[in-house]
Structure 1
């Protein structure tokens, strides 16, 4: 097992552990929920195989479903986010293209790129998750507030996570 796979395995275990043990109980005013486990999918390399990406998304979502007793809602939201990830990456391709060693990370791609990429995909995940949980369009105002606050909360925590644990690259911050 090379170091690249080991790093992503450790990242998976750490993010799942954080989600299950800590973030599950961290709620802002009954509206803001933090789902750091989706960072595992967001931080994967840009050139990852699409089928592998969907399998990893399903595995991470179903793991959370097992602990949250949510019957596949996290798996569905995470797989949809992973399905849309390649399109989002294609949409945000830099003028010079991606380098082989690029990861989808703040330190590798810069602030503007990462915040656009992450916030859109986090919003898709949360929108799907909360509307699946709601099972319809009743209480739409409360649900939209949960989606927006949770998106900002999750995005802020993932940015902090990246700033603490990811090494700085040659491209630096843009």
Structure 2
């Protein structure tokens, strides 16, 4: 990854973090579906990025979100877990010939079906860890699963919308 790409990913992560902090902090549909759009910054890192830098980026991003949300490490733990699971999941859904090193796991690069099968399980894992930490000892399993499912679907929908609106489209000839 060259310096230009590194700066563009850094700006994307900062922008998504700011959107999360200032616009999506209090957004909840019916009290069960929460938006975690900042996860797109972690999900869209190139496939060739090693796991340790992805985990460190997720840790810092989750920590910054925790500072503004006052959630005492819940975003940090969930984002770090998602970053750890990302490399395992990419290996699990790898095509027969493997990935091209320069590919980005985005909607425009990989297609809708692949992106959905890539992002939805990772976002669900994030939500499961987050809401388990949130409801620890107070809520039941159904509350955790309910919030995790609907938050995952809502976040995935928003992530797809953001990519359709703001990411450059690949030219097909």
Structure 1 unaligned blocks of 5 or more:
none
In the TM superposition, what are the counterparts of 1:1-150 in structure 2 within 5 Å?
2-136=3-137, 138-150=139-151
**Structure 1 position 13, deviation (Å):** 1.4
Does the Cα contact within 8 Å between 1:41 and 1:56 map onto a contact in 2?
yes
What is the SS of the residue equivalent to 1:161? helix
Give the secondary structure class of the aligned counterpart of 1:36. Answer: coil
**C-alpha distance in 1, partners of 2:101/2:43?**
17
The 2-side partners of 1:95 and 1:139 are apart by 41
Contact map agreement 1:131 1:137 (CA 8 A) in 2: no
Compute the displacement of 1:124 (Å).
0.2
Distance 1:69 1:2 in 2: 33
Listed one character per residue, the Cα deviations across residues 77-128 of structure 1 (whole Å, up to 9, x for unaligned) are 0000000101110111122321122001111111111101100000000000
Q: State how many pairs are aligned.
A: 171
Q: Structure 1 length normalisation: TM-score?
A: 0.93
* CA distance in 1: counterparts of 2:143 and 2:3, whole angstroms: 46
Whole-angstrom distance in 1 between the partners of 2:126 and 2:89: 13
What's the Cα RMSD here?
1.4
Deviation readout 1:107-158 (Å, 9 max, x if unpaired): 1111111101100000000000000011137332222211111000000000
